Amino acid sequence: MERHFEHDFDELKQRLLWMGSLAERAVHQGVQAVLDAEENLAEAVLTEEDAINEMQIEIDERVQRLLALQQPMAADLRFLLAVSRINGDLERIGDQAVNIAQSAMRILRHPQVKPYVDLPRMSELAEAMVRDSLNALVRGDVELAESVLRRDDQVDRLRDQLFRELLTYMMENSAVVFPSFELILVAKNLERIGDHATNIAEDVIYFVAGRDVRHPALDRR
Amino acid sequence: MISVTPGGNSLAARLAPQVRISESSPTTSEREAPLRFQISDLNFFYGSKQAVFGLNLKIPKNRVTALIGPSGCGKSTFLRTLNRMNETVRNTRFDGQILLDGQDIREMDVVGLRRRVGMVFQRPNPFPKSIYDNVAYGLRINGYKGRLDDLVEHSLHRAALWEEVKDFLHKSAFALSGGQQQRLCIARALAVDPEVLLLDEPCSALDPVTTAKIEELMFQLKDSCTMVIVTHNMQQAARASDFTAFMLDGKLIEHNETPKLFTTPSDPRTEAYITGRFG
């Protein structure tokens, strides 16, 4: 039976995906500003942040309206709860992208510290995690969501590696402390983006399978 | 009241001060609550037509159990079997077993059974008598020898109606509004102090304010009474019950704690029904 509010649910999903693509693009542009030494890319991230924030408010309002008017149950309820939480994660990803862009602008005032090897890999991984977590939502694909959870460790490892490497640069040459520190911040922000993608994947698993996979170490009775 | 720490041995439980919650809290699972009814392999027939098929269900004491399902799925039939009300319909029979506090209801005196298992119907059906006499009726036919006035007042209090009717107890029950009449019927059922109250869509003819009063009343009564409610209103089942049973085509499809059933049902047919995809 086709339900009259099905259209509202579809539209909500489309808006969330659009917000996701804005957040993902912001992350990409922020990191690319560092890699390509393109300050205008960093400036674009700062300009476009408002669009993500506006989307957050719009999606919240849509969720509130559907909760109040449709009083959803079961999968519909889990979907709206998941969307509401994912909305918050995407907005935070937008904030992390802004942090990266601001670091990029500061980094570009200095000569390049080292060739960038791990940073693009890390960025690619984090962006793919965001993209795949949202693809999992669209397809209701639990396996894809679980693969996102597994990838979080790789991002963490790259952050640690980058941190160690930059530390040695800083110890050898105090002139590179400032840009190296900013690069560490970029890596930290990418690692946080991976965490948000993980949260999204967990919400997708909850929505699709009704399983709460957050904090597996907790004894839930 | 009982003392509990939330979440068993969780860190939150260890950090939290001891909290006191009502014994009727739905956090206590069916497995821990003593049972009022135990229904095994119940089949019910209207003549040759079978309406309930092999139903097994445990109804815990002092909890509200909601029966949901599309029209004609057998939930009202099942409800009326619990106090053998179906015996007033010709050509009906059931097999299987229904135990009330461990005793087979077929071996019980039917009047005694219905005194222990009261019923409230979809449409308020007060007797053409005064408010007072409606409540006193069950007591009189049961030969109650105590002070009727006290018990009538007590029952009207329990049904959250006393304040509204105390000044005109001897007026006709028909002078009351629909919601008041329904609460009067609940007071009438409560007067004989039943252990179980069966409610067959008790709010379907009532406005939201009166519905909220009846639901609040159900919550208050849980301390002393087991309730089984048939409802078409999913939100009502979610709000007012501790356990929910979903029936379809005369069969019990799923029975679970209400929060679980309405957030993560186990059976796709339950999911489809409560999200409005069929029914």
| pLDDT tens-digit map of B73-106 | 999 999 999 999 999 899 999 999 999 999 999 9
| Tokens at B43, concatenated | 């089949």
Q: Residue B279 pLDDT more than 70?
A: no
Structural domain includes residue B192? yes
Residues of A in contact with B278 (CB under 8 A): 1
Interface test with B, best of A67, A73, A76, A212 (most B CBs within 10 A): A73
pLDDT on residue A213: 92
Residues of B with CB under 8 A from a CB of A: 7-10, 234-235, 238, 262-265, 270-271, 274-278
Distance from the A76 Cα atom to the nearest Cα atom in chain B, whole angstroms: 7
Asked if the structure places residue A217 within a domain, the reply is no
Parent domain of B133: 29-274
How many angstroms away from the CA of B81 is the closest CA of chain A?
A: 30
Q: Which of B233, B256, B275 to mutate to test the interface with A (most CBs of A within 10 A)?
A: B275
Token look-up 């960093």 returns A42
CB contact under 8 A, B234 and A73: yes
User: Could you count the other beta carbons within 10 Å of the beta carbon of residue B19?
Assistant: 10
State the pLDDT at residue B18: 47
Per-residue pLDDT tens over the stretch B26-58: 444 555 679 999 999 999 999 999 999 999 999
Residue A70's pLDDT is 84
- What amino acid occupies position A186? V
A216 within domain boundaries: no
For the cut 80, the answer to whether the pLDDT of residue B128 exceeds it is yes
Residue of B nearest to A218 (CA): B10
CB A192 within 8 A of CB A96: yes
Is B5 part of a structural domain of the chain?
no
CB B21 within 8 A of CB B6: no
CATH number for the domain that contains residue B246: 3.40.50.300
Residue A208 Cα distances to A24, A62, A137, B157, angstroms: 23, 20, 8, 47
Q: What pLDDT does residue B204 have?
A: 86
Q: What is the mean pLDDT of residues B111-120?
A: 93
- Tell whether B100 is covered by a domain: yes
In a domain, A33, yes or no: yes
Place of tokens 């005109």: B168
Question: Which of B279 and A35 is assigned the larger pLDDT?
Answer: A35
A4 CB within 8 Å of a chain B CB: no
A68 at interface of B, judged by CB pairs closer than 8 A: no
Min CA distance, A157 vs chain B (Å)? Answer: 29
* Tally of domains in chain A: 1
pLDDT for B209 = 85
Dihedral, CA of residue B138, residue B144, residue B148 and residue B152, to nearest 10: -30
In a domain, B18, yes or no: no
Cβ pair B275:A73 closer than 8 A: yes
Listed by number, the residues of chain A in 78-97 with a beta carbon closer than 8 Å to a beta carbon of chain B are: 78
Residue that is written with structure tokens 């109606």 in the block: B161
Angle (CA) A81 A85 A88, round 5°: 150
Q: Would the CB atoms of B275 and A210 count as touching at under 8 Å?
A: no
With the C-alpha atoms ordered B24, B29, B33, B36, is the resulting torsion angle positive or negative?
A: positive
Radius of gyration of chain B, Cα coordinates, nearest whole angstrom = 19
User: What does DSSP assign to residue A120?
Assistant: H
Query: Is B263 close to A221, i.e. CB distance below 8 A?
Result: no
CATH number of residue A56's parent domain: 1.20.58.220
User: Would you call B84 helix, strand, or coil by DSSP?
Assistant: coil
Average pLDDT, chain B: 88
Residue B22 lies in a domain: no
Domain for residue B102, yes or no?
A: yes
By three-state DSSP, how is residue B120 classified? strand
List the structure tokens of A12. Answer: 């909500």
Pairing of strands B243-248, B64-68: parallel
In a domain, A36, yes or no: yes
What would the mean pLDDT of B164-176 be, rounded to a whole number?
95
> In this structure, is residue A219 part of a structural domain?
no
The structural domain count of chain B equals 1
Reading the block at residue B172, the tokens are 């006709």
What does each of the 221 residues of chain A score in pLDDT, given as a tens digit? 567 778 899 999 999 999 999 999 999 999 999 999 999 999 999 999 999 999 999 999 999 999 988 889 999 999 999 999 999 999 999 999 999 999 999 999 999 999 999 999 999 999 999 999 999 999 999 999 999 999 999 999 999 999 999 999 999 999 999 999 999 999 999 999 999 999 999 999 999 999 999 988 776 65
A218 domain-assigned: no
C-beta contacts of B218-222 below 8 A and 24+ residues apart: B218/B64, B220/B158, B220/B160, B221/B158, B221/B190, B221/B197, B222/B24, B222/B62, B222/B63, B222/B64
pTM (2 d.p.): 0.79
Structure tokens at B152: 């009538």
Q: Would the CB atoms of B238 and A73 count as touching at under 8 Å? A: yes
The answer to whether position B121 is within a domain reads yes
What separation in angstroms does the CA of B170 have from each of A70, B126, B130?
Answer: 44, 14, 5
- Which sign, positive or negative, has the C-alpha torsion A104, A107, A111, A117? negative
* Cβ proximity of A84 and A57 under 8 Å: no
Cα–Cα separations (whole angstroms), residue A78 to A37, A84, A209, A210, B174: 43, 10, 10, 8, 45
Beta pairing, strands B117-120 & B64-68: unpaired
> Smallest Cβ distance to B9: which of A72, A78, A219?
A219
Is a pLDDT exceeding 80 seen at residue B208? Answer: yes
Segments forming the whole domain that contains residue A108: 7-209
For residue B190, give the amino acid letter: L
First to last CA, chain A: 36
Residues of B within 8 A of A221 (CB-CB) are 7-8
Scanning every residue of chain A, which has its alpha carbon at the shortest distance from the alpha carbon of B275? A73
Give a yes or no: residue A43 inside a domain.
yes
**Paired strand residues for B2:** B21
Q: Any idea what DSSP says for residue B89?
A: S
